[in-house]
Amino acid sequence: MSPDAPTLKNFIAGQWVAPVDGKHFENANPADTRDVIGHFPLSGQADVDAAVASAKRGFEIWRRTPAPARGDVLRRAGDILVARKDELADVMTREMGKPLAETRGDVQEGIDTAYYAATEGRRLFGHTVPSELRNKWAMSFRRPIGVAGIITPFNFPLAIPTWKLFPALVCGNACVFKPAEDVPMTGHMFVEILLEAGLPPEVINLVHGKGEAGAAIVAHPDVALVSFTGSTDTGSKVGEACGRSHKRLSLEMGGKNAMIVLDDADLDLALEGALWGAFGTTGQRCTATSRLIVQEGVHDTFVSMLEARARTLVLGDGRAKGTDVGPLINPRALDKVERYITIGTGEGATLRMGGKRPGGKSLEHGHFFQPTIFTGVKALSRLEQEEIFGPVLSVVKVKDADEAFRVNNDVRYGLSSSVYTRDVNISFRALSELDNGITYINAPTIGAEAHLPFGGVKQTGNGHREGGWEVYEFYSETKVGYIDFSGKLQRAQIDNY
Ligand code: UN1
């Protein structure tokens, strides 16, 4: 324990409380691990049980609160996020590492999601349709479901919790929220903001911790739905547990996203996109550009341009001026990236640049890794197939657009893809043929906007989407009502035919 760092609490049943068995974990700055941010509850079953019991009580209040009034709370949360944007960004960069411009964007995504969700409280549309019988009405409407278990990753410490909590709340559910153990301070502040905005306390319950707490939420019989963003392996376990108890589940998992650069592309534009897509957030986005598929006519030129620019990227503390690329999140992430350098070289790919932890005194206390480019990467090699979640870009050379599309599709993931071309026909072919939830034309694989559905096909997800209008379907249940005002028994399908 670092004596100067604060000890934070869970928020359960309207109180800030210590974990039942008194255990904590340390949260440190990934750019300099001597900077300890705080000690957070290492929660277990008893804490989760208390949180779920509280959420059940909260649900009874919240489900009866009119949806527009629920939306008002979210609008106020959005206003507070606006007022505290810079302060939050600073906390987020300190505990997560990405540069301030990126954490400010992360907060903005939360603001956008808040205002969208706030107005959804005045929509939550159902349908009114004609009945096949006289003097009878038929309609559908949306009902809240119950207690939502919300488990979020480290890479978007605010945006992703808002993607889940805001729609869950506007639909009338109560929540048990477990933020990633690498970014608990952002989770703590977010809950403070929801309370300040007027959310009834038992509607939101915050449980810090690691896998044990997450597993307890997922398995709890009184948790009706679960939304999880994280690795495909953990997602499989969450899926198994939810399948056994027939819980509603939204999974958002891995990616191996490709940017395709064709011979007719604007190479200067593609260059900016590749740098941002591959090395933004130190490659720690589900949407990161981890494969660059380049047509042979421009391959050598483009790789040289890319290498020259990538070598100028400044690695450093995300809170320092001039930093382009921050640290990785923790030592496990660093080990994983290093493992893939060995795998890549072992498979015969050429390490064009990077591949190491940087030298030098200023970075020695952080989890830094050099921006890395491999060329001559073979389709179907492990380097080309597996999610690394770090600043490693694998370049694959192809003959034409057909081969590029094939290589793009030949992975188990399907989150985002991108094509740089000036050919309108190829652009539209890409939209229909690339097996991804999102395809960008002349923009990198990252940059999703809060008001459109976000998610992927194949093993990236399980068919649900975050964001936009679709997510409200996930967090509510359709109910149908028939009102017969004929005063007599009317048998559908029988009396009218
Ligand atoms: C993620 O990749 O983990 O599209 C989320 C983007 C962001 C969200 C990314 N708006 O890059």
Find the Cα–Cα–Cα–Cα dihedral 342, 318, 24, 249, rounded to 10°.
-70
Pair 246, 303 in one domain:
no
Cβ atoms of 126 and 139 closer than 8 Å:
yes
H or E stretch covering 117: helix 100-120
- Average pLDDT over the chain, rounded to an integer: 97
CA of 28 to the centre of ligand 1 (A): 24
496 falls within a domain:
no
CA 252 to ligand 1: nearest atom: 3
CA 160 to ligand 1: nearest atom: 5
Pair 210, 315 in one domain:
no
88 falls within a domain:
yes
Pair 270, 397 in one domain:
yes
Q: What separation in angstroms does the CA of 459 have from each of 205, 239, 347, 412?
A: 30, 12, 24, 6
394 falls within a domain:
yes
CA of 174 to the centre of ligand 1 (A): 25
CA 229 to ligand 1: nearest atom: 3
465 falls within a domain:
yes
Pair 249, 271 in one domain:
no
Cβ atoms of 157 and 187 closer than 8 Å:
yes
The Cα–Cα gap between 228 and 230 comes to 6
Query: In the prediction, which pLDDT does 1 show?
Result: 62
- Section 493-497 average pLDDT: 96
228 falls within a domain:
yes
**380-418, pLDDT tens digit by residue?**
999 999 999 999 999 999 999 999 999 999 999 999 999
Pair 77, 185 in one domain:
yes
CA 438 to ligand 1: nearest atom: 4
- Section 482-495 average pLDDT: 98
- Section 459-468 average pLDDT: 96
Which of 96, 287, 415, when mutated, tests ligand 1's pocket best, judged by the most ligand atoms within 8 Å of its CB?
A: 287
Pair 195, 310 in one domain:
no
Confidence of residue 10 (pLDDT cuts 50, 70, 90): very high
Which of 285, 438, 465, 466, when mutated, tests ligand 1's pocket best, judged by the most ligand atoms within 8 Å of its CB?
A: 285
Domains in the chain: how many in total? 2
CATH number at residue 23: 3.40.605.10
CA 450 to ligand 1: nearest atom: 10
454 falls within a domain:
no
Which residue's alpha carbon is at the smallest distance from atom 10 of ligand 1? 448
CA of 106 to the centre of ligand 1 (A): 9
Which DSSP letter does residue 438 get? E
- Where in the sequence numbering do the catalytic residues fall? 252, 286
> What proportion of the chain, given as a percentage, has pLDDT over 90?
98
User: What is the CA angle 68-473-212, rounded to 5?
Assistant: 100
- Section 105-128 average pLDDT: 98
**31-81, pLDDT tens digit by residue?**
999 999 999 999 999 999 999 999 999 999 999 999 999 999 999 999 999
Pair 248, 265 in one domain:
no
CA of 447 to the centre of ligand 1 (A): 6
280 falls within a domain:
yes
Which of 156, 229, 232, 388, when mutated, tests ligand 1's pocket best, judged by the most ligand atoms within 8 Å of its CB?
A: 156
Pair 292, 227 in one domain:
no
For residue 233 the two structure tokens come to 């392996």
CA of 33 to the centre of ligand 1 (A): 26
What residues form DSSP beta bridges with 205?
176
Residue 2 has pLDDT above 80, yes or no: no
345 falls within a domain:
yes
Give residue 19's domain range. 10-253+461-480
pTM of the model: 0.97
CA 159 to ligand 1: nearest atom: 8
Pair 226, 262 in one domain:
no
How many CA atoms does the CB half-sphere of 484 hold within 13 Å? 9
Q: What separation in angstroms does the CA of 261 have from each of 10, 271, 311, 438?
A: 48, 10, 20, 17
Task: Identify the residues whose C-beta falls under 6 Å from ligand 1.
Answer: 109, 155-156, 285-287, 446-448
The Cα–Cα gap between 425 and 428 comes to 5
Which residue's alpha carbon is at the smallest distance from atom 8 of ligand 1? 448
CA of 468 to the centre of ligand 1 (A): 14
Residue 192 has pLDDT above 80, yes or no: yes
Pair 197, 305 in one domain:
no
Pair 261, 246 in one domain:
no
Compute φ and ψ for 444, nearest 5 degrees: -75, 180
Pair 229, 106 in one domain:
yes
CA of 286 to the centre of ligand 1 (A): 7
* Beta strand segments in 125-256, E: 127-130, 136-143, 147-151, 174-178, 204-206, 225-229, 248-252
Q: Give burial (CB, 10 Å; 0-12/13-18/19+) of 222.
A: middle
- Section 6-22 average pLDDT: 98
Which of 163, 229, 454, 471, when mutated, tests ligand 1's pocket best, judged by the most ligand atoms within 8 Å of its CB?
A: 454
CATH number at residue 371: 3.40.309.10
